[in-house]
């Protein structure tokens, strides 16, 4: 059992949970596209923004453990986009580090398994790749109100 999630379900018996899910590939893309100042985990040097040598692995970026985040096909596609200049090296590396840090502190699969064991009235799972933000918002609002008896 995921300790934090399991504890939350026990300590908050009336709580409802909303789980917004997206694959790591999609999450990385969203981090890179939205360019939010909140999405920082330290700052790489701006000198790292130029990609003069082709990158063939995450290890070359200093994040070898990122290989475990993506399928072989996703890795190839991601590195191709990076080499084509779609993203700056420093932004790319910084966003990868965020996902890696998150996974050190949170196991989404373990949390999901705990929440799946609850009655369906307690947890809403949403794959954010399948719906628009408006649709997701509507689903969440419908789920959370009115309180079910």
pLDDT digits (tens, 9 = 90+) for 86-109: 999 999 999 999 999 998 888 888
Q: Residues of the chain whose pLDDT is less than 70?
A: 1-3, 35-52, 146-149
Residue 2 lies inside a defined structural domain of this protein: no
What's the pLDDT score for residue 2? Answer: 59
What element of type H or E holds 123?
strand 123-127
What's the pLDDT score for residue 4? Answer: 75
Residue 149 lies inside a defined structural domain of this protein: no
User: What HEC string does 45-74 produce?
Assistant: CHHHHCCCCCCCCCHHHCCHHHHHHCCHHH
Residue 86 lies inside a defined structural domain of this protein: yes
Residue 127 lies inside a defined structural domain of this protein: yes
What is the radius of gyration, based on Cα positions, of the chain? 18
What's the pLDDT score for residue 93? Answer: 95
Based on the number of CB atoms within 10 Å of its own CB, is 82 exposed (0-12), middle (13-18) or buried (19 or more)?
buried
Number of domains present in the structure of the chain: 1
Q: Are 110 and 6 in contact (CB under 8 A)?
A: no
Domain that holds residue 20: 14-41+54-144
Q: Is 1 helix (H, G, I), strand (E, B) or coil?
A: coil
Residue 9 lies inside a defined structural domain of this protein: no
Residue 7 lies inside a defined structural domain of this protein: no
Residue 8 lies inside a defined structural domain of this protein: no
Residue 3 lies inside a defined structural domain of this protein: no
């Amino acid at each position: 059992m995921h300790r934090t999630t399991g504890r939350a379900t026990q300590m908050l018996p009336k709580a409802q949970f909303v789980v917004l899910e997206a694959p790591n590939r999609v999450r990385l893309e969203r981090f890179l596209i939205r360019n939010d100042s909140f999405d920082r985990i330290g700052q790489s040097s701006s000198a790292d923004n130029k990609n003069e040598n082709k990158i063939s692995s995450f290890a070359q970026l200093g994040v070898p453990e990122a290989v475990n985040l993506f399928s072989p096909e996703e890795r190839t596609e991601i590195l191709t986009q990076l080499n084509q200049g779609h993203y700056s090296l420093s932004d790319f590396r910084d966003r990868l580090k965020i996902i890696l840090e998150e996974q050190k502190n949170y196991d989404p699969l373990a949390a999901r398994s705990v929440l799946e064991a609850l009655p369906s009235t307690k947890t809403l799972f949403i794959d954010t790749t399948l719906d628009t933000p408006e649709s997701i918002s509507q689903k969440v609002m419908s789920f959370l109100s009115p309180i079910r008896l």
